[in-house]
């Protein structure tokens, strides 16, 4: 269980100290409003305006994690970071075998000879680096989906690493690169504590939820990378930001979630649902209601789920603080 995400915030931010040993909480100022920003669960958010500054933390450290010893040795390097997002500088190209131009007309003798030469070379390049071909497509796909989901570059790097490993192990067999790429990104996002739900992935990927999950489990078991389940804590910063919650609300929701998890690992309850309910419950506590429908929209859950979950949160809250919260 990850201990990192359990930092509790019961003091105003001005009293919090920043120490180097605490890597989950560091401070900076927000470019928008000059307020304090905190990094929680991997996302930097401004406590004043709620702005999420995903990309500020890129390159502060190694942009990927080592999954095992060999990976660790590979990641050490000298010089500028090489990007895993590029592979062949765009050399892999397809040249059709038909001697036709784009309009379907036949080509002249000269052009034909030219094309033949091109094909030959292209084919040599291609077959020599057949692996790279799939890579190009997959990396492009990772990039596309990642930006659609607002995931930072570091996550794409991680996803690329995962994909490369999976690819090397031959896990692409019987699976589309599409799903392999999506699954890699899904794993990377979770690993970096910036989880996106399977639904969110499936919405922008061309892969349906089911095969996405199947590929994901396949990849992670084969690669032996155990990615812990996403927790509500990890979803919360993003949801708070999208709902433009005040810092007070955000902290309250976080406390509720922390308490909830301390009470015991919830079995089967979805992390997004818990986060959604925590936001709603925080609204009740702080007398600042957020309507269930709105929460449901951004959290990808339903008001019903929120309704089912939030009484638990309030109950635990009452237990811990002795404060009863008016339900309505």
Partner DNA sequence: ATGGTTTTTACTGCGTC
Partner DNA sequence: GACGCGGTAAAAACCAT
Exactly one of 79, 90, 174, 268 binds DNA (CB under 7 A); that residue is 268
Q: Interior CA angle at 269 toward 265 and 274, to 5°?
A: 90
Residue 9 or 310: the one with the smaller Cβ distance to DNA is 310
Q: How far is the CB of 273 from DNA (least distance, A)?
A: 4
Which span (79-87, 153-161, 242-250, 266-274) binds DNA, by CB under 7 A?
Answer: 266-274
The interface with DNA within residues 205-264 (CB under 7 A) comprises 209-210, 213
User: Using CA of residue 131, residue 134, residue 136, residue 142, what is the dihedral sign?
Assistant: negative
Exactly one of 54, 179, 233, 270 binds DNA (CB under 7 A); that residue is 270
* Residue 268 and residue 68 in contact, taking contact as beta carbons nearer than 8 Å: no
Q: How far is the CB of 256 from DNA (least distance, A)?
A: 15
**Residue 21 in contact with DNA, rule: CB under 7 A:** no
Q: How far is the CB of 180 from DNA (least distance, A)?
A: 19
DSSP category for residue 4? G
Site mask for DNA (CB under 7 A), range 278-317, x = bound: -----------x-xxx------xxxxxx-xxx--------
Residue 161 or 253: the one with the smaller Cβ distance to DNA is 253
The interface with DNA within residues 87-146 (CB under 7 A) comprises none
The H or E element that residue 44 is part of is strand 43-46
Kindly state the tokens that stand for 301. Answer: 């859950």
Residue 135 or 212: the one with the smaller Cβ distance to DNA is 212
**Residue 318 in contact with DNA, rule: CB under 7 A:** no
* Residue 246 and residue 50 in contact, taking contact as beta carbons nearer than 8 Å: yes
CA distance 181 to 112: 37
Which span (51-59, 110-118, 156-164, 267-275) binds DNA, by CB under 7 A?
Answer: 267-275
Count of residues of this chain found to bind DNA when the rule CB under 7 A is applied: 24
Residue 145 or 281: the one with the smaller Cβ distance to DNA is 281
Place of tokens 């050399």: 91
Q: How far is the CB of 200 from DNA (least distance, A)?
A: 12
Exactly one of 50, 152, 237, 273 binds DNA (CB under 7 A); that residue is 273
The pairs formed by 299-305 with CB atoms below 8 angstroms and a separation of 24 or more are: 299/235, 299/239, 299/272, 299/273, 299/275, 300/197, 300/199, 300/200, 300/272, 301/270, 301/272, 301/273, 301/276, 305/270, 305/273, 305/276, 305/277
b/e string for 91-130 if b means 16 or more Cβ within 10 A? ebeeeeeeeeeeeeeeeeeeeeeebeeeeeebeebbeeee
The interface with DNA within residues 180-199 (CB under 7 A) comprises 198
Residue 155 or 270: the one with the smaller Cβ distance to DNA is 270
Q: Which parts of this chain interact with DNA (CB under 7 A)?
A: 198, 209-210, 213, 267-270, 273, 289, 291-293, 300-305, 307-309, 327-328
């Amino acid at each position: 269980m990850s201990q990192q995400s359990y930092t509790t915030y019961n003091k105003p931010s001005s009293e919090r100290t920043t120490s180097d040993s605490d890597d989950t909480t560091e401070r900076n100022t927000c470019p928008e409003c000059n307020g304090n920003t905190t990094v929680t669960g991997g996302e930097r958010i401004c406590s004043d305006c709620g702005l999420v500054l995903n990309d500020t933390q890129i390159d502060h450290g190694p942009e990927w994690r080592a999954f095992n010893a060999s990976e660790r040795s590979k990641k050490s390097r000298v010089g500028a970071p090489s990007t895993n997002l590029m592979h062949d500088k765009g050399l892999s190209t397809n040249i059709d075998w038909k001697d036709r131009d784009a309009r379907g007309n036949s080509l002249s003798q000269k052009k034909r000879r030219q094309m033949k030469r091109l094909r030959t070379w292209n084919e040599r390049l291609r077959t020599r680096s057949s692996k790279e071909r799939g890579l190009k497509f997959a990396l492009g796909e990772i990039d596309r989906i990642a930006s659609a989901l607002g995931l930072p570059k570091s996550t794409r790097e991680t996803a690329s690493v995962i994909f490369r490993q999976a690819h090397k192990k031959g896990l692409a067999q019987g699976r589309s690169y599409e799903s392999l790429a999506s699954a890699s990104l899904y794993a990377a996002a979770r690993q970096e504590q910036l989880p996106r739900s399977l639904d969110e992935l499936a919405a922008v990927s061309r892969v349906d939820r089911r095969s996405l999950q199947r590929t994901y489990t396949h990849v992670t078991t084969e690669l032996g990378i155990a990615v812990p389940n996403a927790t509500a804590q990890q979803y919360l910063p993003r949801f708070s930001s999208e709902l433009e919650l005040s810092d007070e609300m955000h902290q309250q929701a976080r406390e509720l979630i922390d308490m909830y998890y301390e009470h015991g690992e919830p079995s089967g309850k979805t992390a997004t649902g818990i986060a959604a309910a925590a936001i709603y419950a925080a609204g009740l506590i702080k007398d600042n209601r957020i309507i269930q429908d709105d929460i449901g929209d951004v959290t990808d859950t339903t008001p019903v789920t929120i309704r089912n979950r939030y009484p638990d949160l309030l109950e635990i809250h009452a237990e811990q603080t002795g404060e009863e919260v008016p339900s309505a």
